């Protein structure tokens, strides 16, 4: 894969596909700008070398059948462009469209060393279309804005989308620093990790993570399972889960994964106690349940103190750790202790420690742990999981194609 640093960019227009899909609060303020910050090194490096930089990114899930409806409904990338401008310390004008008249005017008006942004690429229905021709048409318009393409949106690399997959194929292309860093770390996890290799999985839904579990049981020495997905595992072992989030239809697959792990000699650790509540709310009074079974009328929202200790012990001698998915509903302070305990235990590990997943990364930042507490905090949840599953990421494949 060619590196952006190896492209001759002086005086040329570079389309940078970034992942700037940051969370907003109810009033539209950015609550975690980690993804914008992670995109800065590549943009800065290109500007320092006098490129004209056009940043392309998606944002949220615009709804509507056509461009007009989506653009009217938003979300606009305006708050992201404003934050990017603040962080870069220079203006970042935002085109009024994605790859239309305004985008062409903005791109054409850039001087060397200047940067601008395109509007939310998902305003274009073709961006996510399954129809190759529709995506190709949009890719043609995007490619026409620039001389070169730099792929740096790691969090979108697992999507066969027009701006991720089709556009790079039309231009001389290279990978940005973020993508190169992500791939280097994930490659270490998949090829000969130092042992013990411990994987911590949490989050809401077990169905999101079954494929990666299947791939990791053969590679990891220990799997610590928590969060909402743990209840489906506990149910598969015959435990009661009360009103906890449970995916009953996944029990057969979960049982299979447990059998697979046993065969591979991987240790699977489930919660041995819980913090429960009578409803899913920040102000619900937390209660500790001292065993694996969850009483009727309550739901598990975090791992309990004994599990926190067990997991910390199982992490203490790790030489490689991959963590994806918060072990509890960390957004509610009363149910954040499990996430904090796991994050702290991992931060004490000497070895390669990787956090993957948008919510997990947000949790780390929300809990105020120093950024250097981990070797690497991945910006790509789905993308890093698919990489670890051993699947080809379309965005990476496009950057590698013929280069």
Q: Which residues are catalytic?
A: 35, 205, 358, 382
Of these partners, Mg ion, ligand ADP, none, which one is at the site of residue 242 (CB under 5 to 8 Å by kind)? none
Burial letters 128-159, b for 16+ CB under 10 A, else e: bbeeeebbbbbbebbbebbbbbbbbbbbbbbb
- Number of residues written out for the chain: 403
CA distances from 215 to 76, 195, 200 (A): 38, 17, 14
Collect all residues with Cβ–Cβ distance below 8 Å to 233 and sequence separation of at least 6.
206, 225, 254, 258, 268, 270
- Least separation, in Å, of the C-beta of 54 and ligand ADP? 29
Judged by CB under 6 A, the stretch of 71-79, 151-159, 259-267, 353-361 that binds ligand ADP is 353-361
Report if residue 19 touches Mg ion, rule: CB under 5 A.
no
Q: Which of 228, 271, 394, 395 binds ligand ADP (CB under 6 A)?
A: 228
Name the residue nearer to ligand ADP (CB basis): 196 or 228. 228
Report if residue 204 touches ligand ADP, rule: CB under 6 A.
yes
Of these partners, Mg ion, ligand ADP, none, which one is at the site of residue 325 (CB under 5 to 8 Å by kind)? ligand ADP
Judged by CB under 6 A, the stretch of 136-144, 197-205, 260-268, 391-399 that binds ligand ADP is 197-205
Q: Which of 146, 359, 364, 386 binds ligand ADP (CB under 6 A)?
A: 359
Collect all residues with Cβ–Cβ distance below 8 Å to 133 and sequence separation of at least 6.
none
Q: How far apart are CA 245 and CA 249, in angstroms?
A: 12
Q: Which of 34, 168, 300, 304 binds ligand ADP (CB under 6 A)?
A: 300
Name the residue nearer to ligand ADP (CB basis): 195 or 391. 391
Q: Which of 245, 276, 393, 399 binds ligand ADP (CB under 6 A)?
A: 245
Q: Write out the two tokens for 170.
A: 């039309």
- What residues does 323 pair with on adjacent strands? 200, 355
Name the residue nearer to Mg ion (CB basis): 304 or 358. 358
Report if residue 227 touches ligand ADP, rule: CB under 6 A.
yes
Largest pairwise CA distance in the chain: 66
Q: Cβ distance 28 to 79 under 8 Å?
A: yes
Q: What secondary structure does DSSP assign to 181-210, as a single string?
A: HHHHHHHHHHS---SSEEEEE-SS-STTTH
Residues 71-90 that bind ligand ADP (CB under 6 A): none
Name the residue nearer to ligand ADP (CB basis): 166 or 243. 243
Contact string 345-384 vs Mg ion (x = CB under 5 A): -------------xx-------------------------
- What residues does 94 pair with on adjacent strands? 117
- Least separation, in Å, of the C-beta of 326 and Mg ion? 9
- Least separation, in Å, of the C-beta of 204 and ligand ADP? 4
Collect all residues with Cβ–Cβ distance below 8 Å to 132 and sequence separation of at least 6.
166
Q: Cβ distance 353 to 369 under 8 Å?
A: no
List residues near Mg ion by CB under 5 A.
Answer: 358-359
List residues near ligand ADP by CB under 6 A.
Answer: 202-204, 208, 227-228, 245, 300-301, 324-326, 328-329, 331, 357-360, 381
């Amino acid at each position: 894969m060619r590196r952006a640093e190896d492209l001759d960019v002086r005086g040329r227009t570079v389309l940078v596909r970034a992942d700037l899909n940051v969370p907003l609060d109810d009033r539209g303020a950015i609550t975690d700008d980690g993804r914008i910050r992670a995109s800065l090194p590549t943009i800065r490096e290109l500007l320092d070398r006098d490129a004209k930089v056009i940043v392309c990114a998606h944002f949220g899930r615009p709804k509507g059948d056509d461009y007009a409806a989506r653009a009217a409904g938003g979300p606009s990338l305006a708050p992201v462009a404003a934050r990017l401008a603040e962080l870069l310390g220079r203006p970042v004008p935002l085109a009024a469209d994605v790859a239309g008249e305004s985008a062409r005017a903005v791109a054409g008006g850039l001087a060397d060393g200047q940067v601008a942004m395109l509007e939310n690429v998902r305003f274009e229905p073709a961006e996510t279309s399954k129809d190759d021709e529709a995506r190709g048409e949009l890719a043609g318009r995007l490619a026409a804005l620039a001389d070169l393409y730099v792929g740096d949106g790691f969090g979108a690399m697992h999507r066969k989308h027009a701006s991720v997959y089709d556009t790079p194929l039309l231009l001389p292309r290279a990978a940005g620093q973020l993508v190169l860093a992500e791939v280097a770390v994930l490659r270490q996890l998949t090829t000969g990790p130092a042992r013990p290799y411990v994987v911590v999985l949490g989050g809401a839904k077990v169905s999101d993570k079954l494929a990666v579990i299947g791939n990791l049981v053969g590679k990891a020495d220990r799997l610590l399972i928590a969060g909402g997905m743990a209840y489906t595992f506990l149910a598969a072992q015959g435990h009661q889960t009360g009103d906890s989030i449970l995916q009953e239809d996944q029990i057969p697959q979960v049982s299979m994964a447990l059998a697979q792990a046993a065969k591979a000699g991987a240790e699977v650790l489930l919660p041995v106690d819980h913090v429960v509540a009578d409803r899913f709310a920040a102000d619900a009074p937390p209660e500790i349940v001292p065993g694996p079974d969850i009483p009727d009328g309550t739901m598990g929202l975090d791992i309990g103190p004994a599990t926190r200790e067990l997991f910390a012990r199982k992490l203490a001698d790790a030489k490689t750790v991959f963590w994806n998915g918060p072990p509890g509903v960390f957004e509610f302070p009363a149910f954040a202790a499990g996430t904090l305990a796991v994050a702290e235990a991992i931060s004490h590990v000497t070895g390669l420690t990787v956090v993957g997943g948008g919510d997990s990364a947000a949790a780390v930042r929300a809990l105020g742990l120093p950024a250097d507490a981990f070797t690497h905090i991945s910006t790509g949840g789905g993308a890093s999981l698919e990489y670890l599953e051993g699947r080809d990421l379309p965005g990476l494949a496009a950057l590698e194609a013929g280069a």
